[in-house]
Amino acid sequence: MATIPATIFYSSKFPDLKYRKLGKTGFTTSVCGFGCYRVDDSVPEHHQALTFAIENGINLIDTSSNYSFGGSEKLVGNVFEKLISEDRIIREDIIIISKGGYLQGPNLDKAKERENNGNTYQEVVKCSPDLWHCIHPDFLKDQIDESLKRLQLDKIDIYLLHNPEYFLTYSDISSVEEKQKEFYRRIKTAFEFLESEVSAGRISFYGISSNTLGEPADKNNFVSLEKVNSIANDISKENHFAVAQLPMNLIETGAYINKNQRDGSKTVLEFAKENDIGILINRPLNAISNNKIIRLADFEIKEDRSREEIKELIGKISKTENILIDKYVNKMNKDFGEKKSLLECLSLGKTLDENYDKFESPNHFNDIKGFYLIPRANFALSEIGKKFEEDDEVADLLNSYAVTVNITLDSIESDLARDWNIGNKERHSKLNKFLDDELHGFNLAQKAIMFLNSVNEISCTLVGMRKQKYVSDVIDAIRAREEDSLIKYWDNLKSG
């Protein structure tokens, strides 16, 4: 497990980086942590990024049982096992955080099977057919069991209840007062269990991760850090409730400006500081505004083409798909369902033509590309290639199709990136007013991180670092000389 002396010694090896104390845990944490939301053990690039981060000054890792359906925790466990076995780090240097509460994917399948067998988890909130939520001790015990196995650890340093406000959003209790009463009763039951897990030596500290800790106090799913802290104190004055995680970024500023604690006299950050509660910030680069995600980052231009050129490429894709269908797919001896699936996958050109103007951002398009467009194209290429593997003409046609698809997708993403980067110029201009000229060349993500790190109440900002380049950018942002003027940006928000 992480220890106070080891984390202090770790930080001393990187004198040009910035570290802070993580609330009453006493641990010393890098001001940016490795956020594991979108990493997976199956991706070598993610292994490289996490390894690079740990060996270059990042000593807080934040994951969860539901990230990549457990693949995120497996990544952390395997990277740790390798680094420790090679004497490149010691376990006590690094702060490991995981969370529990979500039932999705295999976790949800298991819960449904238990329900069918009459052994359902208690106090489950059924948010949708694909998402349930639970913080009952029976479920949390199973989650900690599984997390410890995937992480290859005997103890998790900090364990967080993951978005318990789902109960407030989805509970069918009509009375607001009764709903609040039941919610905090469930929090107390969970905290009592987590205190027993501390006593059992399976976790060191615990806390809460909630998207609504910084929201106005009258919001229907608002979670009060003051009430949560009071519950922990009622359980024991020597309790191990030590950390709160919440979103904050250049657009979502509620944690800094909303006075939602102490009868409207304190912000959640001020309350946390007064009570020695460590604050972890998530979504520093993914702001949610009007139900849309706004990526606070500049994007790479991979293929510099005009819209007219991109339209021509899309037309070429459609033409090649028609040839593949007419000359090959229609001659394949497949049943109706299989052939229908293949024909649907060979409609990439039509899909791109009809939806080009509906892609909201490079990030939005990249998700669609990775989860929908590329898998469909790869399926078509594989199925036709296997059927006509001896036909050189087919091989040439499929190769040409694959190259055109890749160029087209990169070109569309770059076109969206160009427009997004132009829109970012105004944001850069506003931030640059608080920065020395030498820092104006930093990218938007680096500036967003720097401004968050200027807030003393924040212990650590969690950043998704799936690539080694992202890690390098974060480290450069931490290394940059911090200016007192940055906090003026936040104070200007308070004054309106």
Residue linked to tokens 């970024």: 249
Q: Considering the chain, what is the average pLDDT of its residues? A: 94
| DSSP class of 17 | S
Instruction: Report domain extents, the chain.
Output: 4-295, 307-423
> Could you tell me the two tokens for 221?
């799913």
Render pLDDT for 76-106 as a digit per residue (tens, 0 to 9).
999 999 999 999 999 999 999 999 999 999 9
Q: What's the confidence (pLDDT) of residue 293? A: 86
Mean local confidence (pLDDT), 34-63: 97
> Could you tell me the two tokens for 271?
């309350």
In sequence order, which residues have a C-beta less than 8 Å from that of residue 421 and are 6 or more positions away? 298, 299, 301
Mean local confidence (pLDDT), 127-138: 96
pLDDT at 333 over 80: no
End-to-end Cα separation, the chain, in angstroms: 44
Q: What's the confidence (pLDDT) of residue 430? A: 95
> Could you tell me the two tokens for 261?
């604690």
Q: Are 407 and 313 in contact (CB under 8 A)?
A: yes
- Please, what's the b/e burial string for 127-142 (b: 16 or more CB within 10 A of its CB; e: otherwise)? beeebbbbbebebbeb
> Could you tell me the two tokens for 445?
């993500």
Residue linked to tokens 């364990």: 159
CATH superfamily, domain 4-295, is NADP-dependent oxidoreductase domain (3.20.20.100)
Using alpha carbons, list the distances in angstroms from residue 1 to 49, 191, 268, 377, 396.
Answer: 22, 21, 29, 46, 56
Q: What's the confidence (pLDDT) of residue 290? A: 87
DSSP letters spanning 446-458: HHHHHHHHT-TT-
pTM: 0.90
Q: What's the confidence (pLDDT) of residue 421? A: 94
pLDDT bucket at 292, cuts 50 / 70 / 90: confident
Distance CA 379, CA 401 (A): 13
Distance CA 477, CA 453 (A): 9
- Please, what's the b/e burial string for 444-461 (b: 16 or more CB within 10 A of its CB; e: otherwise)? bbbbbbbbbbbbebbbbb
CA angle 292, 297, 302 (to 5 degrees): 105
pLDDT at 28 over 90: yes
Please state whether beta strands 292-295 and 203-209 pair in parallel, antiparallel, or not at all (unpaired): unpaired
